[in-house]
Amino acid sequence: MAADHDRLVVAGTRRYGRLPTRPAVVDPLAEYHGLARARRRLRLKEWVGFTLVHPEVYSSLILQDAHYLASSEIYVYDRTATVLHQHASTARGGSLNLPHCLMDNSCAIDRPGYHIAYDFSEQTGRHHIKIEIAATGEAPAISGDLMLNAAAASAPLSVSSRLPGGQMYTHKAIYPVSGTLKFGDTTVAFLPERDLAVLDEHRSLLPYRTRWVWGTFAMPTEDGLAGANFVNRPEVPGQSEESCLWTPGAPGGCEALADVRFHKQGGGSGAPWLITSADGRLDVVFTPEGRKSVKRQLGVLAIDYFQMFGRYAGTVRADDGTVIVVKDVHGVCESMDARL
């Protein structure tokens, strides 16, 4: 059982700022009671997803719960065939069991022809992703059996902050990954010295009008794991942002980053994006190879979302001045404009 101090909400008071690690218990509703808690439950958006870094494919998968509806998505882009394969499924809100205690716990979506499960084992130092999705008329079957090495993971990014009209909590980390991913007749092997999985966990009370532009990439280096997570969204002045650099030589391995700007370099969907931080420590260009999109209008609810997958190039500079060259590194960049 988690100690009382190892929680996002302690004695009815939420902790804010950059936290040294993920609290054992992350329940954003714990500071509310009665009707206030019930109302905020419908504002709570929770998800646990992964971006997979591999030279032959771009792939991401997610379990997400809006409490009035749960859903899951996965895509695999075959870089050789230049073909995008996508599957999605929905379930009853609250049914995915996205646990407040993520470590030494599991969660899954299990629908006819669609199964994705995560098992997080802090005791063994291994996390497991299992995928079994049947073929449809639009996409081939996808299966996967991937093992994440938590003992060799990056330092965690753990941030709790106030948003205009809401609150945000996120936890992110980079893991070496081994195993296989199969789509149709193609099987790709993941090698832990080369390939990575980037965890993205959110437990956020998002405002009705929600906007962000976000990106991430990760890579192994001779000195250890490196990468970045960066976002531009409406912020409350003085609150911690979720942007960071993972640098092998940094104390703790995860350095705070702020004031990130995204500059699209042309009008087409394949145009590069220049992404920089005000202090110059992040200076990269993202070149898309493709995208997946979701655009829905349901009365007062609407989503205009796309995630691009492609390659990053440029530099990141650690606080100590060390420059890390980024060259043809797999990553994603996405835009969300929603009324939720």
- The CA angle 292-295-296, to the nearest 5 degrees, is 145
Cα–Cα distance measured from residue 91 to residue 78, given in angstroms and rounded to the nearest whole number: 28
Angle, vertex CA 257, rays to CA 29 and CA 22, nearest 5: 35
Asked whether residue 65 is domain-assigned, the answer is yes
In a domain? residue 229: yes
- Within a domain: residue 4? no
Asked whether the CA dihedral 228, 218, 50, 201 is positive or negative, the reply is negative
> Which tokens go with 37?
């808690």
Burial 167-199 (b: 16+ CB within 10 A, else e): bbbbbbbbbbbbbebbbeeeebebebeebbbbb
- Distances in Å between the alpha carbon of 22 and those of 47, 156, 178? 15, 7, 24
As a whole number of angstroms, the distance between CA 132 and CA 109 comes to 11
pLDDT, residue 102, reads 94
Cα gap 124→9, rounded to integer Å: 27
Q: How confident is the model at residue 251 (pLDDT cuts 50, 70, 90)?
A: low
Tokens of 118: 């995560």
**CA-based nearest residue to 195, from 171, 220, 165, 217:** 220
Question: Looking at residue 1, what is its pLDDT?
Answer: 54
User: Does residue 137 register a pLDDT over 60?
Assistant: yes
pLDDT of residue 44: 94
Cβ 202 vs Cβ 336: under 8 Å: no
Please tell me the distance from the alpha carbon of residue 274 to that of residue 137, in angstroms, as a whole number: 38
**Residue 319, domain member (yes or no):** yes
The tally of domains found in the chain comes to 1
In this prediction, residue 48 carries a pLDDT of 98
Range of the domain at 246: 9-339
Pull the structure tokens for residue 270: 């394949």
- Closest by CA to 290, choosing from 85, 137, 88, is 85
* Residue 48 included in any domain: yes
> In the chain, which ranges are continuous DSSP H helix?
34-41
Q: Tell me, yes or no, whether 237 lies in a domain.
A: yes
3-state helix, strand, coil in the chain (%, to 5): 5, 60, 35
Q: What is the spatial distance between Cα 252 and Cα 154, in angstroms, rounded to a whole number?
A: 9
Q: Is residue 185 part of a domain?
A: yes
Residue pLDDT, tens place only, 141-199: 999 999 999 999 999 999 999 999 999 999 999 999 999 999 999 999 999 999 999 99
Q: What backbone phi and psi angles, to 5 degrees, belong to 34?
A: 60, -135
Counting every residue, how long is the chain? 340
Q: Is residue 1 part of a domain?
A: no
Query: What per-residue confidence (pLDDT) applies to 339?
Result: 86
Measured between alpha carbons, how far is 282 from 96 in angstroms, rounded to an integer? 36
